[in-house]
Chain A
Amino acid sequence: MIAQLTKSERQLALIILLALTICGLAMAIAGRQDPLGVHGAIVMLAGIAGIFGVIYVYYEPEPDEARLALYYDDPTKVAIILAMIWAVLGMFIGDWVAWQLVFPNLTFDASWSSFGRIRPAHTSAVIFGFGGNALIGTSLYVLQRTSRARLPDQISPWFVLLGYNLFCVLAATGYLMGVTQSKEYAEPEWYADLLLVIVWVVYFIIYLRTLARRKEPHIYVANWYYMAFILVVAILHTVNNLAMPVSFGHAKSYSAFSGVQDAMTQWWYGHNAVAFFLTAGFLGMMYYYLPVRAGRPIYSYRMSIISFWGITFMYMWAGSHHLHYTALPQWVQTLGMTFSVMLLVPSWASAGNALLTLNGAWYKVRDDATLRFMMVAAVFYGLTTFEGSFMAIRSVNSLSHYTDWTVGHVHAGALGWVAMITFGSIYASVPWLWKRERMYSPALVEWHFWLAVAGLFTYVFAMWNSGIIQGLMWRTYNDSGTLSYSFIETVVAMKPYYVARAIGGLLFLAGAVVGSYNIWMTIRTAGQPVDARAADLPVTQPAGVPALQPGE
């Protein structure tokens, strides 16, 4: 794959990797008394490994000009493989932490393996490792197809993909060493945050440059969502991570905000990480892969527009519903609740748009597990957004907050919507990308589907039960007007549900393992490559024929 780079791109890659190695060395020296030093060593090793990789192919012949007539899909291929690796790793850690709540000594007497350290490793590995790689991979794929243009160069997509994965590695290894800002879903420390800012700017530039080269007059709806995902995550990430490092030799930093302002900023970030990372990005995925796989056009252009601007505008108000009945001023709580309830309209517009697109193709949903993944995703998107609006109501939130109901809600979204649409999209793209007629084993796709559905339902029902039961127990009074249950009694009552949840997680993980095997075998299987998408080419410009102008 590196051999696909031109000579000048190989040189640029070496310069970037050398700069990375020097940064790593500087971090390792400055932070030699601190976990920062370990991260410096990791960065340095990543840089050196990259340099060796490039030098290895440096004198190979340059790729021929014919490549420019093709889409550039190598980064997408690697992103999909990385996404599946992170999925299995992240879900494995997730199931491990789930079992820790049943058997608390599953830490094996080590510091790195306790619940508080590996729980963020689980959330980051699945959200950023699995979800982020899937978003980067699919966005580059969709961007090229819907613009009918090749990516502008071959270095920037690799910079984004590999730089992003370095961020994920720093995040996950950091938590195990105890490096964390403690801001949920924004735990990585200042230097990792800076890396992500640079990666993100390049990511957006790829978008702008490719769209500038597009041969389609209109920007397709999937790209609106991918752009909202990139832009708004940049805003959220930058503001919420403003912090003062102890020194350049310390991993530790102190947040620029404190107390109530910090809480509001954090949940403005936290809720919109859900909105723009886990919703907008994956809606972009859905708006491309679902209609293509179903062979049907999107049901309603108008609903797409309403939904897009509704989500972009209203979600940013909703974060304060995480802080009902707290020391946050009530007017902010009320605004958050109001917008959360209104959000149901744009959310269901998208869910409805997806399901109505399937009209006329329901027989395919029955026969094709890949499309069924996407259909279940749309259903769970609708269910979870309804549940979210419901839980944002103050009086409902007084019961649900701090309980497993929230955990169940998050997983209905993460497993039911995000993972399902991702698996569907990956199963659709893998044969297209590796020029196979179909997946290695359609039967294994069915297995994955049913394992995932079984795991999802087991998990979510367990958490609904435990959350509502615990919330009710906390507020139960006896006849003499005192609280009926001590806290520990409510913990004991959770045990059967914690077992059920861990089993549900295990089923979902098993599905991901089956899927990874199937994807790997599809890539590996020998045989005549079948180019199922012979017409899958960007617009080229034969000599003498003027290029298509926008508006033609």
Chain B
Amino acid sequence: MGFLGLHYRLERKTMSLAIGIIIAASIGGLIEIVPLFTIHQTVEDAPDMRVYTPLEIAGRNIYIREGCYACHSQMIRTLRDEVERYGPYSLAVESKYDHPMLWGSKRTGPDIARLGGKYSDEWHVKHLINPRDVVPESVMPPYAYLTRAKVRVDDLGLHLAALRKVGVPYTDEMIANASNDAYGQTSPDTPFAEGVTKRYGEATNVRAFDGQPGEPTEMDALVAYLQILGKLTDAAHKAKTAAAGE
């Protein structure tokens, strides 16, 4: 019996057809996705990699809420012009703690995988309030309302706990102090600030990102997130130096 004869019989049986569809459609995903979890080289090692602070998580969630990923990628490809325009190409490990990843698929605006530290906080605040004040030809929407909205900090412990459940190594201490740390990161002259650097490292940015100390605004959170982009680990810069040295 040929292929057509077989099919002639198959298409008369609902369940066989359904099971056939499921099997045919499952193979590709199984072969391409499962090994990404099991092959160790898929994600590089980066011992210096730190997790996002609670304020940066809040900022990242604002970035997601506003759909920034629709116009900005966070994935520098291994192409000469991209490396020269944006910096060392992105490594898998750099988004290891990104649930979900924000690699993006469209650059209506530039890639921002290495935005952290490139501009001052003042520039970011001005730019977010009205992009055309600093880049006259920009087509980005204005986000002035972020300066007025207070960021919700009381539930950040729950956010960190949920992230721990999906694999981000937050400690009990980080989860218990999440709300205070969010406050501390924008209030350098308060006792809360110390806890932030203790738990997340001396290099953590602790300052009033929107220029106004006190209760963190959504602007504080978003700018804190933008200033950490590409800065969670040095792995990409080290890889570049290593490659140049060979």
Interfacial residues of chain B within 9-65, with CB under 8 A of chain A in the complex = 11-12, 14-15, 17-18, 21-22, 24-29, 31-33, 36-37, 39, 41-43, 61, 64-65
Measured in the bound complex, the distance between the Cα atoms of B187 and A213 in whole Å is: 70
Neighbouring A residues of B101 by C-beta, 8 Å? 258-260, 262-263, 266
Measured in the bound complex, the distance between the Cα atoms of B36 and A263 in whole Å is: 11
Query: B165 an interface residue at 8 Å Cβ cutoff?
Result: yes
Query: A59 an interface residue at 8 Å Cβ cutoff?
Result: no
Measured in the bound complex, the distance between the Cα atoms of B129 and A52 in whole Å is: 47
Contact B137 A492 (CB under 8 A): yes
Query: B212 an interface residue at 8 Å Cβ cutoff?
Result: no
Neighbouring A residues of B8 by C-beta, 8 Å? 218
> Which of B142-150, B189-197, B200-208, B220-228 is the contact stretch?
B142-150
Contact B132 A235 (CB under 8 A): no
Neighbouring B residues of A320 by C-beta, 8 Å? 32
Identify which of B4, B71, B98 gathers the most chain A CB atoms within 10 Å of its CB. B98
Interface bits A402-415 vs B (CB < 8 Å: 1, else 0): 11001100000000
Contact B24 A313 (CB under 8 A): yes
Contact A326 B4 (CB under 8 A): no
Contact A180 B67 (CB under 8 A): yes
Measured in the bound complex, the distance between the Cα atoms of B143 and A131 in whole Å is: 32
Query: B70 an interface residue at 8 Å Cβ cutoff?
Result: yes
We find that the number of chain B residues with CB closer than 8 angstroms to chain A is 89
Q: Which of under 10, 10 to 19, 20 to 34, or 35 or more describes the interface residues of A?
A: 35 or more
Interface bits B91-114 vs A (CB < 8 Å: 1, else 0): 111111111111111111111000
Interfacial residues of chain A within 40-97, with CB under 8 A of chain B in the complex = none
- What's the nearest-Cβ distance from chain A to residue B87, in Å? 13
Contact B110 A487 (CB under 8 A): yes
- What's the nearest-Cβ distance from chain B to residue A103, in Å? 9
Contact B166 A244 (CB under 8 A): yes
Contact B99 A116 (CB under 8 A): no
Which B residue's beta carbon lies closest to that of A259?
Answer: B95
Contact A487 B25 (CB under 8 A): no
Query: A521 an interface residue at 8 Å Cβ cutoff?
Result: no
Neighbouring A residues of B120 by C-beta, 8 Å? none
- What's the nearest-Cβ distance from chain B to residue A499, in Å? 12
- What's the nearest-Cβ distance from chain B to residue A186, in Å? 10
Interfacial residues of chain A within 479-521, with CB under 8 A of chain B in the complex = 482-483, 487-488, 491-492
Query: B79 an interface residue at 8 Å Cβ cutoff?
Result: yes
Measured in the bound complex, the distance between the Cα atoms of B75 and A266 in whole Å is: 15
Interfacial residues of chain A within 97-137, with CB under 8 A of chain B in the complex = 100-102, 104-105, 107, 109, 111, 114-117, 119-120
Interface bits A517-543 vs B (CB < 8 Å: 1, else 0): 000000000000000000000000000
Contact B14 A312 (CB under 8 A): no
Interface bits B79-95 vs A (CB < 8 Å: 1, else 0): 10110110001111111
Query: B139 an interface residue at 8 Å Cβ cutoff?
Result: yes
Interface bits A233-270 vs B (CB < 8 Å: 1, else 0): 00100010001111100101111111111111110100
Contact A268 B33 (CB under 8 A): yes
Contact of A258 among B14, B97, B143, B144 (CB under 8 A): B97
Which B residue's beta carbon lies closest to that of A208?
Answer: B14
Contact of A491 among B68, B93, B138, B167 (CB under 8 A): B138
Neighbouring A residues of B29 by C-beta, 8 Å? 235, 239, 268, 316
Neighbouring B residues of A402 by C-beta, 8 Å? 73, 104-107, 111
Query: A302 an interface residue at 8 Å Cβ cutoff?
Result: yes
Which B residue's beta carbon lies closest to that of A316?
Answer: B28
Query: B158 an interface residue at 8 Å Cβ cutoff?
Result: yes
- What's the nearest-Cβ distance from chain A to residue B203, in Å? 22
Q: Is the interface of A mostly helix, strand, loop or mixed?
A: helix
Contact of B71 among A105, A115, A228 (CB under 8 A): A115
Measured in the bound complex, the distance between the Cα atoms of B33 and A336 in whole Å is: 12
Which A residue's beta carbon lies closest to that of B75?
Answer: A326
Measured in the bound complex, the distance between the Cα atoms of B142 and A104 in whole Å is: 8
Contact A326 B21 (CB under 8 A): no
Neighbouring A residues of B135 by C-beta, 8 Å? 488
Contact A259 B92 (CB under 8 A): yes
Neighbouring B residues of A211 by C-beta, 8 Å? 14
Query: A441 an interface residue at 8 Å Cβ cutoff?
Result: no
Measured in the bound complex, the distance between the Cα atoms of B108 and A217 in whole Å is: 53
Neighbouring A residues of B66 by C-beta, 8 Å? 114, 116-117, 178
Measured in the bound complex, the distance between the Cα atoms of B142 and A304 in whole Å is: 51
Query: B183 an interface residue at 8 Å Cβ cutoff?
Result: no
- Assuming the contacts A224-B11, A312-B25, A475-B81, asked whether A104 and B99 have C-beta atoms less than 8 A apart, the reply is no
Neighbouring B residues of A232 by C-beta, 8 Å? 21-22, 25
- Assuming the contacts A212-B14, A474-B85, A483-B85, asked whether A231 and B21 have C-beta atoms less than 8 A apart, the reply is yes
- What's the nearest-Cβ distance from chain B to residue A185, in Å? 10
Which A residue's beta carbon lies closest to that of B91?
Answer: A327
Contact A104 B139 (CB under 8 A): yes
Contact B25 A326 (CB under 8 A): no
Contact of B90 among A183, A326, A406 (CB under 8 A): A326
Neighbouring B residues of A323 by C-beta, 8 Å? 103
Interfacial residues of chain A within 155-207, with CB under 8 A of chain B in the complex = 175, 178-184
Contact of A264 among B33, B75, B106, B167 (CB under 8 A): B33
Measured in the bound complex, the distance between the Cα atoms of B3 and A312 in whole Å is: 17
Neighbouring B residues of A492 by C-beta, 8 Å? 137
Query: B140 an interface residue at 8 Å Cβ cutoff?
Result: yes
Measured in the bound complex, the distance between the Cα atoms of B156 and A247 in whole Å is: 11
Neighbouring A residues of B26 by C-beta, 8 Å? 235, 316
Which A residue's beta carbon lies closest to that of B97?
Answer: A258
Query: B118 an interface residue at 8 Å Cβ cutoff?
Result: no
Contact B11 A313 (CB under 8 A): no
Neighbouring A residues of B75 by C-beta, 8 Å? 326-327
Neighbouring B residues of A380 by C-beta, 8 Å? none
Contact of B22 among A184, A231, A256, A483 (CB under 8 A): A231
- Assuming the contacts A120-B67, A253-B162, asked whether A217 and B91 have C-beta atoms less than 8 A apart, the reply is no
Closest 5 CB pairs of A and B: A116-B67, A316-B28, A178-B65, A317-B28, A325-B77
Beyond the given A259-B96, A475-B79, could you list 12 further A-B residue pairs with CB under 8 A, ordered by the A residue number? A117-B67, A181-B64, A218-B8, A228-B25, A239-B29, A260-B42, A305-B3, A319-B32, A324-B77, A401-B105, A403-B107, A487-B110
For this complex, 21 residue pairs linking A to B, each with C-beta atoms less than 8 Å apart, are A105-B142, A107-B141, A114-B141, A178-B65, A211-B14, A217-B12, A231-B18, A232-B22, A235-B26, A244-B166, A255-B100, A258-B95, A259-B92, A259-B93, A259-B96, A264-B33, A266-B100, A313-B28, A335-B31, A474-B85, A488-B138
B interface vs A, CB < 8 Å? 3-4, 7-8, 11-12, 14-15, 17-18, 21-22, 24-29, 31-33, 36-37, 39, 41-43, 61, 64-71, 73, 75, 77-79, 81-82, 84-85, 89-111, 131-132, 135, 137-145, 155, 158-159, 162-163, 165-168
